[in-house]
Structure 1
Amino acid sequence: MARKSLQPFAGFGGLAGGGEADPFGLMRREMDRLFDSYSRDWPAPALAKGLMSPKVDVAETERGLEISAELPGIEQKDISLDLTDGILTLKAEHRAEKEEKDEKKHYHLVERSRGSFMRRFAVPFEPDADKVQASFENGVLKIEVPRSAAAEKQVRKIAIKGG
Protein backbone atom coordinates (compact mmCIF):
# COMPACT_ATOMS: atom_id res chain seq x y z
CA MET A 1 0.00 0.00 0.00
CA ALA A 2 1.95 3.00 -1.26
CA ARG A 3 1.59 6.11 0.83
CA LYS A 4 1.09 9.38 -1.01
CA SER A 5 3.04 12.54 -0.35
CA LEU A 6 1.72 14.33 2.70
CA GLN A 7 1.85 17.63 0.81
CA PRO A 8 -0.14 17.51 -2.45
CA PHE A 9 1.01 19.77 -5.28
CA ALA A 10 4.34 20.50 -3.62
CA GLY A 11 6.14 23.03 -5.74
CA PHE A 12 3.01 24.64 -7.19
CA GLY A 13 1.76 28.06 -6.20
CA GLY A 14 4.58 28.84 -3.79
CA LEU A 15 3.95 25.89 -1.45
CA ALA A 16 7.04 24.89 0.51
CA GLY A 17 8.84 21.65 -0.13
CA GLY A 18 8.97 21.68 -3.93
CA GLY A 19 12.60 22.40 -4.73
CA GLU A 20 15.54 20.01 -4.69
CA ALA A 21 17.59 22.42 -2.55
CA ASP A 22 14.86 22.57 0.08
CA PRO A 23 15.94 20.32 2.99
CA PHE A 24 12.32 19.81 4.10
CA GLY A 25 11.35 18.70 0.60
CA LEU A 26 14.24 16.23 0.56
CA MET A 27 13.29 14.94 4.01
CA ARG A 28 9.63 14.56 2.96
CA ARG A 29 10.60 12.58 -0.15
CA GLU A 30 12.88 10.33 1.90
CA MET A 31 10.10 9.72 4.43
CA ASP A 32 7.66 8.90 1.59
CA ARG A 33 10.22 6.47 0.14
CA LEU A 34 10.75 4.85 3.55
CA PHE A 35 7.02 4.38 4.18
CA ASP A 36 6.44 3.10 0.64
CA SER A 37 9.11 0.40 1.04
CA TYR A 38 7.87 -0.50 4.54
CA SER A 39 4.22 -0.82 3.51
CA ARG A 40 5.05 -3.19 0.62
CA ASP A 41 5.97 -5.78 3.26
CA TRP A 42 2.53 -5.49 4.92
CA PRO A 43 -0.10 -6.20 2.28
CA ALA A 44 -3.58 -4.94 3.12
CA PRO A 45 -6.73 -6.69 1.92
CA ALA A 46 -7.62 -5.49 -1.58
CA LEU A 47 -11.06 -4.21 -0.56
CA ALA A 48 -9.77 -2.22 2.40
CA LYS A 49 -6.90 -0.85 0.33
CA GLY A 50 -9.29 0.38 -2.36
CA LEU A 51 -11.60 1.95 0.18
CA MET A 52 -8.87 3.76 2.04
CA SER A 53 -7.16 5.24 -1.00
CA PRO A 54 -9.03 5.41 -4.30
CA LYS A 55 -6.87 5.77 -7.39
CA VAL A 56 -6.79 9.46 -8.33
CA ASP A 57 -5.22 11.32 -11.26
CA VAL A 58 -4.67 15.08 -10.91
CA ALA A 59 -3.58 17.12 -13.93
CA GLU A 60 -3.06 20.86 -14.20
CA THR A 61 -3.96 22.47 -17.52
CA GLU A 62 -4.10 26.06 -18.72
CA ARG A 63 -7.78 26.15 -17.72
CA GLY A 64 -7.32 24.67 -14.24
CA LEU A 65 -7.25 21.25 -12.58
CA GLU A 66 -8.71 18.02 -13.93
CA ILE A 67 -9.19 15.32 -11.31
CA SER A 68 -10.29 11.76 -12.03
CA ALA A 69 -11.02 9.33 -9.17
CA GLU A 70 -11.83 5.63 -9.53
CA LEU A 71 -14.64 4.76 -7.10
CA PRO A 72 -15.79 1.22 -7.97
CA GLY A 73 -18.77 -0.07 -6.01
CA ILE A 74 -19.73 3.39 -4.76
CA GLU A 75 -23.01 5.03 -5.70
CA GLN A 76 -23.29 8.69 -6.69
CA LYS A 77 -25.55 9.45 -3.71
CA ASP A 78 -22.72 8.37 -1.37
CA ILE A 79 -20.18 10.87 -2.77
CA SER A 80 -19.63 14.34 -1.33
CA LEU A 81 -17.46 17.13 -2.79
CA ASP A 82 -16.75 20.56 -1.37
CA LEU A 83 -14.32 23.39 -2.02
CA THR A 84 -13.30 25.54 0.95
CA ASP A 85 -10.42 28.02 1.06
CA GLY A 86 -8.62 26.41 -1.89
CA ILE A 87 -8.98 22.86 -0.55
CA LEU A 88 -11.09 20.38 -2.54
CA THR A 89 -12.47 17.63 -0.28
CA LEU A 90 -13.75 14.33 -1.67
CA LYS A 91 -15.66 12.06 0.72
CA ALA A 92 -17.39 8.79 -0.08
CA GLU A 93 -18.95 5.91 1.77
CA HIS A 94 -19.19 2.32 0.59
CA ARG A 95 -21.90 0.01 1.85
CA ALA A 96 -22.38 -3.55 0.69
CA GLU A 97 -25.61 -4.65 2.29
CA LYS A 98 -27.55 -7.72 1.28
CA GLU A 99 -30.63 -9.11 2.94
CA GLU A 100 -30.66 -12.89 3.17
CA LYS A 101 -34.06 -14.54 3.19
CA ASP A 102 -33.99 -18.28 2.94
CA GLU A 103 -36.11 -20.33 5.30
CA LYS A 104 -34.06 -23.46 4.62
CA LYS A 105 -30.82 -21.87 5.77
CA HIS A 106 -29.92 -20.78 9.27
CA TYR A 107 -26.97 -18.44 9.04
CA HIS A 108 -24.34 -18.53 11.77
CA LEU A 109 -22.38 -15.63 10.30
CA VAL A 110 -23.29 -12.94 7.78
CA GLU A 111 -20.54 -10.50 6.80
CA ARG A 112 -20.96 -7.20 4.97
CA SER A 113 -18.45 -4.58 3.99
CA ARG A 114 -18.69 -0.93 4.92
CA GLY A 115 -16.17 1.83 4.82
CA SER A 116 -15.54 5.45 4.08
CA PHE A 117 -12.69 7.64 2.98
CA MET A 118 -11.77 11.27 2.55
CA ARG A 119 -9.18 12.84 0.28
CA ARG A 120 -8.18 16.50 0.25
CA PHE A 121 -6.44 18.30 -2.59
CA ALA A 122 -4.80 21.72 -2.28
CA VAL A 123 -5.68 23.77 -5.36
CA PRO A 124 -2.44 25.58 -6.37
CA PHE A 125 -4.26 28.66 -7.69
CA GLU A 126 -7.38 30.71 -6.96
CA PRO A 127 -10.27 28.56 -8.27
CA ASP A 128 -13.50 29.87 -9.79
CA ALA A 129 -15.74 28.13 -7.23
CA ASP A 130 -18.95 28.87 -9.16
CA LYS A 131 -17.71 27.00 -12.24
CA VAL A 132 -16.42 23.80 -10.61
CA GLN A 133 -18.05 20.79 -12.30
CA ALA A 134 -18.20 17.10 -11.44
CA SER A 135 -19.62 14.06 -13.22
CA PHE A 136 -19.87 10.41 -12.17
CA GLU A 137 -20.13 7.58 -14.67
CA ASN A 138 -19.20 3.88 -14.52
CA GLY A 139 -17.48 4.25 -11.15
CA VAL A 140 -15.28 7.16 -12.26
CA LEU A 141 -15.67 10.64 -10.78
CA LYS A 142 -14.36 13.48 -12.96
CA ILE A 143 -13.90 16.95 -11.48
CA GLU A 144 -12.95 20.16 -13.29
CA VAL A 145 -11.70 23.07 -11.18
CA PRO A 146 -11.22 26.14 -13.43
CA ARG A 147 -8.94 29.05 -12.61
CA SER A 148 -10.60 32.30 -11.57
CA ALA A 149 -10.23 35.34 -13.82
CA ALA A 150 -7.97 36.90 -11.17
CA ALA A 151 -5.70 33.83 -11.16
CA GLU A 152 -5.41 33.91 -14.97
CA LYS A 153 -4.35 37.57 -14.82
CA GLN A 154 -1.63 36.75 -12.28
CA VAL A 155 0.28 34.56 -14.76
CA ARG A 156 3.12 36.61 -16.16
CA LYS A 157 5.80 35.53 -18.63
CA ILE A 158 9.29 36.59 -17.63
CA ALA A 159 11.94 37.21 -20.28
CA ILE A 160 15.31 35.57 -19.68
CA LYS A 161 18.34 37.61 -20.74
CA GLY A 162 21.52 36.02 -21.99
CA GLY A 163 24.86 36.85 -20.45
Structure 2
Amino acid sequence: MANEMIDRRRNDMFDAMNDWFGFPKNFFDDNEISDMMQSDVTENDKEYTVKIDMPGLKKDEIKLNYSNNVLTVSSNRKTIKDLNNEKDNVIHQERSEGHVSRSYRFPNVVANKIHAKYDNGVLTINLPKQTADSNNSSIQID
Protein backbone atom coordinates (compact mmCIF):
# COMPACT_ATOMS: atom_id res chain seq x y z
CA MET A 1 0.00 0.00 0.00
CA ALA A 2 2.73 2.46 0.94
CA ASN A 3 4.68 1.57 -2.21
CA GLU A 4 1.60 2.18 -4.33
CA MET A 5 1.16 5.60 -2.75
CA ILE A 6 4.82 6.48 -3.33
CA ASP A 7 4.62 5.28 -6.94
CA ARG A 8 1.41 7.22 -7.47
CA ARG A 9 2.94 10.35 -5.96
CA ARG A 10 6.09 9.91 -8.10
CA ASN A 11 3.96 9.43 -11.24
CA ASP A 12 1.86 12.47 -10.38
CA MET A 13 5.03 14.50 -9.90
CA PHE A 14 6.48 13.40 -13.26
CA ASP A 15 3.14 13.97 -14.99
CA ALA A 16 3.08 17.50 -13.58
CA MET A 17 6.67 18.07 -14.76
CA ASN A 18 5.80 16.77 -18.23
CA ASP A 19 2.86 19.17 -18.34
CA TRP A 20 5.09 22.01 -17.15
CA PHE A 21 7.88 21.31 -19.65
CA GLY A 22 5.31 20.92 -22.40
CA PHE A 23 3.80 24.26 -21.43
CA PRO A 24 5.87 26.58 -23.66
CA LYS A 25 5.37 24.47 -26.78
CA ASN A 26 1.66 23.96 -26.16
CA PHE A 27 1.08 27.57 -25.14
CA PHE A 28 2.86 29.19 -28.07
CA ASP A 29 2.03 26.59 -30.71
CA ASP A 30 -1.42 27.77 -31.71
CA ASN A 31 -1.12 26.19 -35.17
CA GLU A 32 -3.87 23.56 -35.21
CA ILE A 33 -2.83 22.38 -38.65
CA SER A 34 0.16 20.58 -37.07
CA ASP A 35 -2.21 18.31 -35.14
CA MET A 36 -4.56 17.82 -38.04
CA MET A 37 -3.13 14.74 -39.76
CA GLN A 38 -3.59 12.06 -37.12
CA SER A 39 -3.61 8.69 -38.83
CA ASP A 40 -4.21 4.97 -38.45
CA VAL A 41 -2.46 2.44 -40.67
CA THR A 42 -3.63 -1.16 -41.03
CA GLU A 43 -2.46 -4.06 -43.14
CA ASN A 44 -3.82 -7.38 -44.32
CA ASP A 45 -2.69 -9.92 -46.92
CA LYS A 46 -4.06 -7.88 -49.82
CA GLU A 47 -3.52 -4.21 -48.96
CA TYR A 48 -2.47 -1.41 -46.64
CA THR A 49 -5.13 1.03 -45.47
CA VAL A 50 -4.38 4.53 -44.20
CA LYS A 51 -7.03 6.67 -42.52
CA ILE A 52 -6.08 10.29 -41.90
CA ASP A 53 -8.13 12.92 -40.07
CA MET A 54 -8.16 16.06 -42.21
CA PRO A 55 -11.16 18.06 -40.96
CA GLY A 56 -12.09 21.36 -42.48
CA LEU A 57 -10.37 20.73 -45.79
CA LYS A 58 -11.93 20.38 -49.19
CA LYS A 59 -11.13 17.36 -51.33
CA ASP A 60 -9.41 19.48 -53.98
CA GLU A 61 -7.04 20.95 -51.34
CA ILE A 62 -5.51 17.51 -50.65
CA LYS A 63 -2.65 16.17 -52.77
CA LEU A 64 -1.56 12.51 -52.89
CA ASN A 65 1.62 11.12 -54.40
CA TYR A 66 3.15 7.63 -54.39
CA SER A 67 6.74 7.43 -55.57
CA ASN A 68 9.75 5.24 -54.62
CA ASN A 69 7.66 3.25 -52.12
CA VAL A 70 6.61 6.42 -50.27
CA LEU A 71 3.05 7.75 -50.01
CA THR A 72 2.96 11.50 -49.39
CA VAL A 73 -0.20 13.30 -48.34
CA SER A 74 -0.12 17.09 -48.25
CA SER A 75 -2.44 20.06 -48.14
CA ASN A 76 -2.47 23.83 -48.07
CA ARG A 77 -5.10 25.71 -46.14
CA LYS A 78 -5.79 29.17 -47.48
CA THR A 79 -6.84 32.23 -45.50
CA ILE A 80 -9.94 31.80 -43.37
CA LYS A 81 -12.29 34.17 -45.21
CA ASP A 82 -15.06 34.49 -42.63
CA LEU A 83 -12.74 36.52 -40.35
CA ASN A 84 -12.33 39.26 -42.95
CA ASN A 85 -15.33 41.18 -41.69
CA GLU A 86 -14.81 44.92 -41.36
CA LYS A 87 -17.47 45.24 -38.63
CA ASP A 88 -15.95 42.73 -36.18
CA ASN A 89 -12.60 42.67 -34.41
CA VAL A 90 -10.95 39.26 -34.04
CA ILE A 91 -10.25 38.70 -30.33
CA HIS A 92 -9.16 35.05 -30.55
CA GLN A 93 -8.12 32.90 -33.50
CA GLU A 94 -7.17 29.20 -33.47
CA ARG A 95 -7.99 28.27 -37.07
CA SER A 96 -4.98 28.94 -39.20
CA GLU A 97 -3.56 28.73 -42.67
CA GLY A 98 -0.48 26.84 -43.71
CA HIS A 99 1.01 23.72 -45.25
CA VAL A 100 0.88 20.22 -43.77
CA SER A 101 2.43 17.01 -45.07
CA ARG A 102 2.93 13.39 -43.95
CA SER A 103 4.84 10.57 -45.60
CA TYR A 104 4.46 6.81 -45.16
CA ARG A 105 6.71 4.05 -46.51
CA PHE A 106 4.87 1.15 -48.15
CA PRO A 107 6.89 -1.39 -50.12
CA ASN A 108 5.47 -3.63 -52.84
CA VAL A 109 2.41 -1.57 -53.75
CA VAL A 110 0.64 -1.66 -57.11
CA ALA A 111 0.81 2.10 -57.70
CA ASN A 112 -1.79 2.32 -60.48
CA LYS A 113 -4.41 0.61 -58.26
CA ILE A 114 -4.19 2.96 -55.26
CA HIS A 115 -7.64 4.25 -54.33
CA ALA A 116 -8.50 7.21 -52.09
CA LYS A 117 -11.79 8.45 -50.65
CA TYR A 118 -12.50 11.59 -48.61
CA ASP A 119 -15.62 11.56 -46.46
CA ASN A 120 -16.58 13.68 -43.43
CA GLY A 121 -13.05 14.94 -42.87
CA VAL A 122 -11.42 11.49 -43.05
CA LEU A 123 -9.17 10.54 -45.95
CA THR A 124 -9.04 6.75 -46.54
CA ILE A 125 -6.34 5.42 -48.85
CA ASN A 126 -6.18 1.78 -49.96
CA LEU A 127 -2.82 0.61 -51.30
CA PRO A 128 -3.04 -2.87 -52.88
CA LYS A 129 -0.01 -5.08 -52.37
CA GLN A 130 1.77 -6.72 -55.24
CA THR A 131 1.17 -10.41 -55.65
CA ALA A 132 3.15 -12.94 -57.62
CA ASP A 133 0.75 -12.34 -60.52
CA SER A 134 1.02 -8.54 -60.48
CA ASN A 135 4.81 -8.66 -60.30
CA ASN A 136 5.17 -11.04 -63.23
CA SER A 137 7.37 -9.44 -65.84
CA SER A 138 8.02 -12.51 -67.94
CA ILE A 139 7.53 -12.23 -71.68
CA GLN A 140 6.25 -15.09 -73.79
CA ILE A 141 8.03 -15.87 -77.02
CA ASP A 142 5.78 -16.85 -79.97
Question: What is the DSSP-based 3-state SS (H/G/I as helix, E as strand, rest coil) of the residue aligned with 2:31?
Answer: helix
- Determine if the alignment matches structure 1 residue 83 to structure 2 residue 66: yes
From 133, 137, 145, the equivalent of 2:115 is 133
Deviation at 1:59, TM superposition (A): 0.8
Q: Which runs of 4+ in 1 moved over 4 A?
A: 44-47, 99-102, 106-109
Amino acid at match of 1:142: T
Gaps of 5+ in 2: 1-17, 136-142
Give 1:73's aligned residue: 56
Question: What is the DSSP-based 3-state SS (H/G/I as helix, E as strand, rest coil) of the residue aligned with 2:26?
Answer: coil
For 1:138-153, what aligned pairs fall within 5 Å after superposition?
138-150=120-132
From 74, 82, 89, the equivalent of 1:98 is 82
Q: Distance in 1 between matches of 2:105 and 2:73?
A: 12
Give 1:115's aligned residue: 98
TM-score in terms of structure 1 length:
0.57
CA radius of gyration, larger in: 2
Deviation at 1:40, TM superposition (A): 3.6
Gaps of 5+ in 1: 1-36, 154-163
Q: Taking CA–CA contacts closer than 8 Å with sequence separation of 6 or more, which of the two structures ends up with the larger relative contact order?
A: 2
Cα RMSD of the aligned pairs, angstroms, is 3.2
TM-score in terms of structure 2 length:
0.65
Deviation at 1:150, TM superposition (A): 3.8
Q: If each structure's helix is expressed as a fraction of its own residues, which one has the higher value? A: 2
When structure 1 is superposed on structure 2, of 53-62 and 82-91 the one drifting more is: 53-62
Q: Distance in 2 between matches of 1:62 and 1:48?
A: 38
- Determine if the alignment matches structure 1 residue 52 to structure 2 residue 34: yes
